A and B are shown apart, each in its own frame.
Chain A
Amino acid sequence: MKPRTRWEAVCTVDDLVPESGIAVWTEEGPVAVFYLPHRLPALFAISHTDPFSGANVLARGITGDLKGEPVVASPLYKQHFSLRTGICLEDDTVRVKTYPVLLDGNQIRLEVRANQQTSIAA
């Protein structure tokens, strides 16, 4: 059975930086949200934690595409992570968590695990 989830509002459109990422704090911890205005979809969300260093830095990496795949490069050791799947292009045994993300009016929402105590309504 799929665990219960909820769509958490994490920031507004004004917080986003075009062609780059920002970090937000969620109940599941730090998440990086990227806004690539020249692509469809334009919003991506992956874990902010760089699995190679353990540091919370992925939102501060350079975005781009490699052979068409949207990616972010870790600012520490420069590995590339697919923004769609979270898979590391240099080492496909490493994968960061990805989050469904949507634009709701002016709000950016992420689908995160629902805490037992929290209501499913956001």
Chain B
Amino acid sequence: MSKKTLIVIGNGMVGHHFLEQFCASPAAADFEIIVFGEEKQLAYDRVHLSEYFGGSTHADLAMGTLEWYTEQGIQLHLNEQVTGINRENRTLETPRGSYRYDELVLATGSYPFVPPIEGNDRPHCLVYRTLDDLDAIRASSEGARAGVVVGGGLLGLEAANALKSLGLEAHVVEFAPRLMPVQLDADGGALLRHKIEELGVQVHTEKATTAITEGEDARLRMDFSDESFLETDLIVFSAGIRPQDALARASGLEIGERGGIVINNHCTTSDPHVHAIGECALWEQKIFGLVAPGYTMARTLSAALNGDRELAFTGADMSTKLKLLGVDVGSIGDAHAQTPGARNIRFNDEQAGHYRRMVISEDGKTLLGAILVGDNSHYDTLLQYALNGITLPENPETLILPESQGGAPALGPDALPETASICSCHNVTKGDICGAIDAGCSDLGSVKAETKASTGCGGCTALLKNVVDSELEKRGVEVSKDLCEHFPYSRQELFHIVKVNGIRTFHTLISQHGKGHGCDICKPAVASILATCWNEHILATDHVPLQDTNDTFMANMQKNGTYSIVPRIPGGEITPDKLIVLGEVAKEYDLYTKITGGQRVDLFGATLSQLPEIWEKLIAAGFETGHAYGKSLRTVKSCVGNTWCRYGVQDSVGMAIRLEDRYKGLRAPHKVKMAVSGCTRECAEAQSKDFGVIATENGWNLYVCGNGGMRPRHADLFATDLSDEELIRTIDRVVMFYVRTADRLQRTSVWMENLEGGLEYLKQVVLEDSLGIGAELEEHMEGIVGTYQCEWKTAVEDPEKRKRFREFVNAPSQTDPVQEWTVERGQRRPVLESA
């Protein structure tokens, strides 16, 4: 039997999704598949189009690859426009030829609506839909100062963001009295407008453009019906979309009154061999301009072509959650309370810039819709209530109140029914996720790979993780807290054992409480615990073999086996004489020199045997070790403070030096960073540190558990207007509580997030002394401060310890042959490439 032919017109997101679904189905074997795309590129992610100006390329946005199309045996005709369909003969025409089909799928999408305004066809009047459009906008932005977006809806604001990222002064002109009139109400729209204007986008509402003419100071002039006008260099029309139904219309298929190819519940048009999906299709007088309903249509049609008439398209949830210009906006269900008898609950915090509205049924039992602006953290919970008809709690307002005002915590994954839709892009329910876990998926990654959940828009990532974690936990999958194969204890438990039993060596600990000989996981962890408890020199004979190489040699190993050296420069304050010494030492040993992010100087390229010599010189000039190699306090960054700065209200440098001197050398589960800012301008970036101190008129505000790096987290405000002594006592307690209770290699941010009770609990322990251990924590810290020694000073003075720094113990003059150098920008760097 010869194969039938299936032709798909349109290669956008929905057309591509249909191919993915259909090619994986049994019916694919019966069809030759031909795809026509009008654009020159393969289907790409239009939802994230604005990222194109942020540096993403077509390859980043692409939905599939040419290889995939080849593997599936699909004939792909890109940049080839279909010009006509002859339904009687079942053929279609393109400028390159004529093709026969048995089944035809129209996935032609939509086109941007350009309002009929005189002058709308002038140069620099553009639209925002395709990559070609974006290239045109980019070209037009050359030499332009200002740009206007006509349309204040979802896409219009995306387009405004794009103009802003091109460096233009961006304006939004909207006909309605508010932004996003479809999704938001007056209050929500007003807040969104306020936030967007703060970001530098100018918003003009209730403006009807009457003509576009040549400008005087800019390329174009827009005249409005209220006789005002606006000059601009380019205009982007984003006033809504219209279904791309021209081909269907010309071939005599049934078309809706206001456009759109009429389809039934199985996505078939008035011709049984022609089907339509996505934004070109009209179902029950409705066009669906979101990707998720388009995907649902694609799945429905694929099933129908496989003879499965069970699956039907029955409309779609049009709820949306997005970040527009960095502002959270969410709209769920009947956001405008059009259901008879619907009632509203509103929460509006103008100070914080949060607006939330719930629309509930007359009997108060179900959530019909919601609007969120400024903070989408309630979206997932509200959406689950709305989609699954979960009965609202007795006081439904608790769902949108902040927790501090009696708000209810987010809906736990356990409360969701099996039918709850977790990922609407790929239509994955909680039941599907449970099924995947029962079939053997044992972590988030494998569940995502198996179900495709959270691989569409990504909006459900957090919810998915909660569901997976909770389901795994229910099945008794337990993440082992054991440190490693040698110790069946967590770091916190080991700390307790060491402290209570007065254990002072690794050997004692492993022979009494562990097994085997240890490894590179447990040895440094135990070394850190021993250091915190007893504060002995890290090169004491028993401790040497426990340390990571960086701790052993008190320097940071680089890729060619040489080390970098970071002397302590407390608070970033350094005398010219000391700075000269650093320069002289670096010059003498030809060390590559770089300023660090923590206001210090890093000297790279010292060999093992040079380290003690270099440190002798540094110590003679008054330097101390900077512990850049240790899981310990690194640096206390500071701004210059009120001694110089006209805005400063406290001596931030003085406080930074005091803190750095106090906590230097303390061994912790991971590195600890601090900063002190002299006023609220926050030049020291204290809120990204483990401990951030910001000066106030009355003292100091303390922020804790912030983080930069791979997983940034803003520090939480912990206490306000502290005196110097109160500040230090509070930090003493938090630091010591962290050191005692955190897991191995756990930064303060993750530690706090995992503390049961979180920030509030930490406040109780530290500020209210709820565990009665405050005095003990302070005493422990005093003991450590009192026994501080500069490890490098002790090391260079002890010939036995210096023996460790021989590169080759039997050949002092032998240099390491792989350490080869080249010169770049006036300094030495290694040529060794790592494999």
**Residues of A at under 8 Å CB distance from B?**
10-11, 15, 17-20, 22-25, 29-30, 36, 38-39, 49, 51-57, 60-68, 70-71, 73, 75-76, 78, 80
Contacts and interface: CB of A to CB of B under 8 A. Distances in A.
B485 A66 contact: yes
Contacts of B522: 64
| Of listed A10, A15, A25, A39, residue having the most chain B CB within 10 A | A25
Contact of A57 (B517, B549, B803, B833): B549
Nearest to A15: B809
B548 A25 contact: no
B212 interface: no
B333 interface: no
Interface stretch (B220-228, B474-482, B811-819): B811-819
Contact of A62 (B507, B548, B817): B548
Which 5 residue pairs spanning A and B have beta carbons closest together? A19-B545, A64-B519, A75-B549, A55-B561, A73-B520
A54 B818 CA distance: 8
Contact of A53 (B486, B544, B559): B559
Given A60-B557, A63-B545, A66-B485, A55 B518 contact: no
- Is chain B's binding surface mostly helix, strand, loop or mixed? loop
Contacts of B809: 10-11, 15, 22-24
Contacts of A62: 519-520, 523-524, 545-549
Nearest to A50: B561
9 contacts: A22-B809, A53-B561, A54-B835, A55-B560, A57-B557, A60-B549, A62-B546, A64-B516, A75-B550
A18 B545 contact: yes
Nearest to A23: B808
A55 B517 contact: no
A53 B562 CA distance: 12
B552 interface: yes
Contact of B518 (A10, A22, A25, A64): A64
B553 interface: yes
Given A17-B544, A20-B544, A55-B559, A66 B519 contact: yes
Nearest to A66: B519
B89 interface: no
A20 B518 CA distance: 12
Contacts of A75: 548-550, 557
A98 B809 CA distance: 19
B448 interface: no
B810 interface: yes
Given A17-B804, A62-B524, A76-B834, 6 more contacts: A10-B810, A15-B810, A23-B807, A60-B553, A64-B516, A68-B516
Contact of B517 (A22, A52, A65): A65
Nearest to A38: B517
B835 A51 contact: yes
| Of listed B553, B808, B834, residue having the most chain A CB within 10 A | B808
Interface string B812-835: 001011100000000000001111
A114 to B, nearest CB: 18
